[in-house]
Structure 1
Amino acid sequence: MQNVKTKLLNIQGFKKETNLKANLSKSIFLGLVLALAGQNEAKAQLTVTGQIRPRTELRDGQGTLQKEGDDSALFTSQRTRLNVGYTGYRFKAFLALQDVRVWGQDQSSINRTTTEANNGVLLHEAWTELILNDTVSKFQNISLKIGRQEIAYDDQKVLGNLDWLQQGRRHDAVVFKFANKGWIADLGAAFNQNKELNVGTLYNGIPPTTAGYPAGTNGIGTMYKSFQYAYIGKKFFFGDLSLLFFKDDFNKFTTIASVYTPLQGVWSRTTSGFYYKVNLTRKINFTGSYYYQGGRDKTGRVLSANLASITSTVQLGRKLFVGPGVDFLSGTDGTKPVTADSRSNKFDPLYGTPHKFWGTMDYFYVASPFGNQGLLNYFFKAKYNYTDKMTFFADVHGFQSANAISNGAGGTRTRYLGTELDLKMTYNFTKLINIEAGYSYMQATNTMASAQVKNVTNADLSPQWAYVALKFSPNFLATKKM
């Protein structure tokens, strides 16, 4: 009997020990799973992506008219970006380092004892976003975004990242962001200075000649001293509606004997207006905007100007989208003399993306000054999704001055500037690899070449432009095939 009890106790002990070992094994396994899950979660907080975008262009009058007999230009530029993002407890951080240069501008063996004027390495973005929501907040997002960042809204007509330009556009700013139930409200501000100072706040906003590009859109040539803006947007069942108020300030200056000297104080320009997108039916929508500019421009002239735009899109079948549209940007009557006290009616599209709207030949509101007489842009756009990977685009523009243009002899010129055809094709090899090719042709008028517009004598009035670009956007932490 004693032997039986002993055996039973041994069996019970063995079962307890077995269960203990089994529970211990389960605990260890569960711990490993949680640890691995934690590691995966930690990895998910970190993103490392990139972009390599070489683009070859054949320019035969792109950007401005060439003279008859001028040779075409052929070159390849490349943008290389490394993007690092991290999300932690109640904060986000993002860093984008980019290099932009033309193939061959650096010799294969660079002399490092000299400063390379064409060095294109810069910090495109570097910001942190502090999440201000608390644990009981019902709001979707309240945050403060601080540092160098892209600022883009709506269709990017007046505020955009200008992604077509290899350098892109960014701002050193602080933006308070609010989002909840379809509402978006942003408040932003920036204050620029050339360097650390002990006295005063004068700012020289003219970029150095080595920069290669003027400050701002439309060849404004002067960087803002500061800006403040408010943006409010709402998504409705019928579409989107937003309001924008933007004020940019330019340091006052004087020019004596071609010497630019900053002065105390600023001239302030205000731009206010709205953007809308209305889905009339499932296959018909309208997009439009209106903005008014007041205050003073960068030279101190009193400003009163406006922009109005409307675009329609109609879906025909499953693959074809077409629609006409028109843009109006005000200007000054070219037959009236301009004095220091004259009011300016020239609308400047702030820091937007002109390449997207006013022809890919970039004749209007891009690097070289334009707009004294304003612009009427009549256009018709078409998009055809040939396959899931290949899409074709075709745009036709008719450009006309919004005001009279003097012929310099007491009369006026025809207001019509030219007709432009823009063709583009995109093809996605994979989700990470895209190729894009385009061709543009313009039939310009003598008014376009005149001293009041482009000021090119003996101009070739049939400019053209072609390009092909490859965009590779790797995700360095991705584990799946893309």
Structure 2
Amino acid sequence: MKKWFQGGIPWILPGLLLSQHGYGQFTLGAQLRTRTELRDGQGAPKLQGTSPAFFTSQRTRLMAGLNTYRLKLGLTVQDIRVWGQDASTINRTTTPDNNGFMLHEAWAEVLLTDTVTKDRRLALKIGRQELVYDDSRLLGNLDWLQQGRRHDALLVKYETAVWTAHAGLAFNQNKEYAAGTVYNPVPPGNYPANTNGGGAYKSLEFVYVSRKFRQSNLSFLLLADQFPKFHIDSTVTPAQKKWEASVHNRYTTGLYYTGQYNNLSWTAAAYYQGGTNSSAQDVSGSLLTGYLQYGFNRRVSAGAGADFTSPDFDPLYGTPHKFWGYMDYFYVASAFGNKGLQDYYLRGKWKPGSRFTAGADVHEFFSAAAIAGNGKRLGTEVDITATYTLTSMIAFEAGYSHFWSTPSLALIKQVNNASGNNNWAYVTVNIHPEWLINK
């Protein structure tokens, strides 16, 4: 494969580009990731008597990057689909809903300080990009989801060996208008635009500051997102939302702390959320989280943690699959009754060698608010995963999860005649080669 890049057109093009603009590095990459799933109550308790779903989804990505004097460029195109989704003779021009091809990333980063200044760095990054901060709880690329998450944004980055300070800005519009800035936040297909199932933001601003210490790190986040106001037009049947130019403003702020001492490591975070959300509701919510882990040796580690989110809190644009159970019952695509969440969990990891890793998590879930006529307990989830790395470019992953749900969970998830036993299993093949070309 390397010989093809050395002798073929993909080698000639970056070579010509770099020869015109000085020395640099050009990277090419690809990813083919398939995930075969058995869903038997994933996302919500299944109905009694329903049959499991079984399918294979595939992510196909092509990536290219350029790193040269005071400039970095990144490009990722991807195609996301389910095997058999398209007939082999489908006319994709007239069936746009089946078109899974999209531009995931396209950004440029310009270094504003001189390259000889080694102790500080000021840069401007602009374009379609992933926003990933801290543990991805509030801002993450949602890589578990085949299509992932990205933002069209401008980012100013100031970094030293100890400090990191980023300021970001995004402003969304549906198309090029001749007048006005009215924005329809409901994307085609009515897919949810954020973690908790809401519409897309019209604009977003954030400031992130992080300070490294000897064995720990402390960061601060202040994020504001705005959503278009609306009114109900009852002159049409059925009544419809009409979007306005003015906005509701919501803000989220808090601290994240992580550290390590010998074999003991920990994370803790606290966030507050206020303002008005996309549904025109005033919010005053909080998120508290803490996790403690101990490494017994190089092979075995275990930890315990607890999360609390109040009913008003929305975990923004993070990666909930990483935290609140792999079966994605909470804060994934749809709300769950605005009752908030308590999650108490144990986590274990076993790594007998460099290629194989296995893990097991146990979650006990409760609502944060009372549920009329029912208790707060929502259920218990067990997640078991195993990963085997064949080479640096090829990896296999498998997992099984079981959720013992309660009537309280079925009530807030609005599932009648729900089963108390729910299952989910998957097998993933991840092929991800990369090539580095120096010129």
Alignment of 1:169 onto 2:110: no
Question: Equivalents in 1 of 2:92, 2:101: separation in Å?
Answer: 15
8 Å Cα contact 1:133/1:139 also seen in 2: no
Kindly provide the CA deviation profile for residues 268-303 of structure 1, in whole angstroms up to 9, marking residues without a partner as x: 100000100021x21001101110001111122221
Alignment of 1:388 onto 2:354: yes
Letter in 1 for 2:26: L
Question: Equivalents in 2 of 1:243, 1:44: separation in Å?
Answer: 34
Residue 60 of structure 1 is matched in structure 2 by: 40
Residue 260 of structure 1 is matched in structure 2 by: 241
Please, what is the CA RMSD of the aligned residues? 1.8
Structure 1 residues 364-373 or 376-385, which shifts more?
A: 364-373
Q: Secondary structure at the match of 1:206?
A: coil
Runs of 4+, deviation exceeding 6 Å = none
Residue 50 of structure 2 is matched in structure 1 by: 70
Residue 314 of structure 2 is matched in structure 1 by: 348
Structure 1 residues 243-252 or 44-53, which shifts more?
A: 44-53
Kindly provide the CA deviation profile for residues 118-138 of structure 1, in whole angstroms up to 9, marking residues without a partner as x: 110000000000100125645
Question: Equivalents in 1 of 2:307, 2:92: separation in Å?
Answer: 49
Question: Equivalents in 2 of 1:354, 1:43: separation in Å?
Answer: 41
Q: How does the TM-score come out when normalised to structure 2?
A: 0.92
Among 439, 458, 466, the residue aligned to 2:400? 439
Question: Equivalents in 2 of 1:66, 1:478: separation in Å?
Answer: 50
Q: Which has the higher contact order (CA 8 A, sep 6+)?
A: 2
Question: Equivalents in 1 of 2:60, 2:363: separation in Å?
Answer: 32
Alignment of 1:370 onto 2:329: no
Alignment of 1:226 onto 2:226: no
Among 425, 430, 436, the residue aligned to 1:466? 425
8 Å Cα contact 1:347/1:371 also seen in 2: no
Among 261, 266, 276, the residue aligned to 2:257? 276
Q: Secondary structure at the match of 2:321?
A: helix
Question: Equivalents in 2 of 1:313, 1:478: separation in Å?
Answer: 40
Alignment gaps of 5+ in structure 2: 1-14
Kindly provide the CA deviation profile for residues 353-390 of structure 1, in whole angstroms up to 9, marking residues without a partner as x: 00000000000000121251110000000011021100
Alignment of 1:295 onto 2:290: no
Residue 292 of structure 2 is matched in structure 1 by: 312
8 Å Cα contact 1:277/1:288 also seen in 2: yes
Letter in 2 for 1:383: K
Cα offset for 1:50?
A: 1.1
Residue 111 of structure 1 is matched in structure 2 by: 91
Kindly provide the CA deviation profile for residues 176-220 of structure 1, in whole angstroms up to 9, marking residues without a partner as x: 0011122100000000000000111010101122x6x31111111
8 Å Cα contact 1:284/1:313 also seen in 2: yes
Letter in 2 for 1:240: N
Structure 1 residues 179-188 or 110-119, which shifts more?
A: 110-119
Residue 13 of structure 1 is matched in structure 2 by: none
Alignment of 1:448 onto 2:409: yes
Letter in 1 for 2:244: L
Alignment of 1:416 onto 2:362: no
Residue 195 of structure 1 is matched in structure 2 by: 175
Residue 185 of structure 2 is matched in structure 1 by: 205
Question: Equivalents in 2 of 1:113, 1:124: separation in Å?
Answer: 20
Alignment of 1:325 onto 2:305: yes
The change in CA–CA distance for 1:190 and 1:166 in structure 2 (over 3 A counts) is: same
Kindly provide the CA deviation profile for residues 49-70 of structure 1, in whole angstroms up to 9, marking residues without a partner as x: 1111011000001011111111
Give the number of the structure whose residues are more often strand, by fraction: 2
Q: Secondary structure at the match of 1:423?
A: strand
Question: Equivalents in 1 of 2:120, 2:431: separation in Å?
Answer: 33
Question: Equivalents in 2 of 1:43, 1:137: separation in Å?
Answer: 19
Question: Equivalents in 1 of 2:337, 2:168: separation in Å?
Answer: 28
8 Å Cα contact 1:249/1:269 also seen in 2: yes
Question: Equivalents in 1 of 2:23, 2:110: separation in Å?
Answer: 20
The change in CA–CA distance for 1:136 and 1:470 in structure 2 (over 3 A counts) is: closer
Letter in 2 for 1:148: R
Cα offset for 1:460?
A: 1.1
Cα offset for 1:139?
A: 3.8
Alignment gaps of 5+ in structure 1: 1-34, 332-345, 407-411
Q: Secondary structure at the match of 2:39?
A: strand
Bigger radius of gyration among the two: 1
The change in CA–CA distance for 1:45 and 1:477 in structure 2 (over 3 A counts) is: closer
Residue 12 of structure 1 is matched in structure 2 by: none
Question: Equivalents in 1 of 2:413, 2:278: separation in Å?
Answer: 21
Among 125, 130, 136, the residue aligned to 1:156? 136
Alignment of 1:94 onto 2:94: no
Question: Equivalents in 2 of 1:179, 1:278: separation in Å?
Answer: 20
**Across the two proteins, how many residue pairs are aligned to each other?**
417
Counting aligned pairs with the same residue, the percent is 48
Question: Equivalents in 2 of 1:147, 1:436: separation in Å?
Answer: 32
